[in-house]
Amino acid sequence: MKRKVLLIYTGGTIGMEKNYATGSLQAFDFGNIFEKLPEINMLECEVSVYPFRKPLDSSDMGPKEWKIIANYIGKNYENYDGFLILHGTDTMAYSASALSFMLKNLRKPVIFTGSQLPIGDLRTDAKENLLTSLYYASLYENDEAVIQEVAVYFEYKLLRGNRTLKYSAEHFDAFQSPNYAQLGISGVHLNVEKEYLWRAPSDAEFSVDAHTSQNVLFWRIFPGMHLNHFVEIPNVKVLVLQVFGSGTIFNTEKTKEILQNLRKNGTEIVVISQCVSGGISFGKYSNSNIFAEIGAISGNDITAESAITKAMHLLDNPKYTGTFAENFAKNLCGEVTAN
Ligand code: ASP
């Protein structure tokens, strides 16, 4: 049976080609993808294309576009076996993380991919990324989707979407998932590491909750940082604070006073690490004790992209009972290692 995949084209380098008259890159009409990539017709799946009317550089993608994608998948969920989202690489990790929180209890694959070189370039990585993503998006066994989560496929690796980060603007191998195993590797065979795949609770129904709040701020500390900048933080409801190593910050009275005041004003503080691998461990060093004292939330080994989009999704979300801190501490869809 031919599986049906809905391809949502949002923009990015992947959909570009060189205009040989001017020498510059321009977006091509993705409705014509089958002409550009006749190999698609050789696949075992049937592909329908929904292109954004105006393809976006992914630096212009945000909550509005995440909602459009989430709701479009929701509307078409029953009609397709899998979903493929073509996206610019720059903010792909944010969009994949956001979608992982919005698409609840997925039973079908949602694969993000893009490329470092345009599809019309001779040395492009776009073809392999796109074709293999289509394989993963249509992979079924015993009438059940093998991938039932939001994943990123790039340069032979299938990664959990909310665990990825873009780490190279140069290499074809541009994405990593430092705190979680690869879900699959594409070699001569299309391999899937089944023990690492996410499965929603068996009694839970698929639904879309595209709630997003933008009252979230991200701040990275650095040695010599002027602490008064903390005071200047506007009335933000969640501050994602990226601190040193396993959770350390300046051990001064001023730091304590300022962070305590933020908490008194009702700001939730989520603490994540500047290290891409490993995570937060409150109390390991005395320079992290402040966080437990003020009731900050440990982000453990979550990525910055995931921490930010999770906070945006949970903040003031009427569908969640319990406090923000309680909900943030939960592993909602494989984004964090349980404490
Ligand atoms: N600036 C592009 C984007 O993220 C880069 C890419 O697609 O690789 O949309």
Lowest-pLDDT range of 14-23, 54-63, 68-77, 301-310: 14-23
Reduce the DSSP state of residue 27 to 3 states and report it: strand
Handedness of CA 44, 158, 31, 171 (dihedral sign): negative
The 10s digit of each residue's pLDDT in 214-236 is 999 999 999 999 888 887 787 89
- Computed on alpha carbons and rounded to an integer, the radius of gyration of the chain in Å comes to 21
The 10s digit of each residue's pLDDT in 168-194 is 999 999 999 999 999 999 999 989 999
* Ligand 1 near 89 CB (within 6 A): yes
Atom of ligand 1 minimally distant from the CA of 174:
8
Do residues 200 and 107 make contact, with C-beta atoms less than 8 angstroms apart? yes
Residue 14 has pLDDT above 70, yes or no: yes
Structural domains present in the chain: 3-208 (3.40.50.1170), 216-329 (3.40.50.40)
103 Cα–ligand 1 center, Å: 24
Q: Of residues 13, 248, 267, 309, which has the active-site annotation?
A: 13
Confidence of residue 17 (pLDDT cuts 50, 70, 90): confident
110 Cα–ligand 1 center, Å: 19
Longest dimension (CA), the chain: 67
12 Cα–ligand 1 center, Å: 4
* Annotated catalytic residue 13: yes
Q: Of residues 89, 164, 248, 267, which has the active-site annotation?
A: 89
* Residue of 26, 90, 125, 170 best suited for mutating to test ligand 1, as the one with most atoms within 8 Å of CB: 90
Do residues 165 and 93 make contact, with C-beta atoms less than 8 angstroms apart? yes
171 Cα–ligand 1 center, Å: 13
Confidence of residue 127 (pLDDT cuts 50, 70, 90): very high
89 is in an annotated binding site: yes
Report the pLDDT value the prediction gives residue 339, as an integer from 0 to 100.
Answer: 66
Atom of ligand 1 minimally distant from the CA of 115:
8
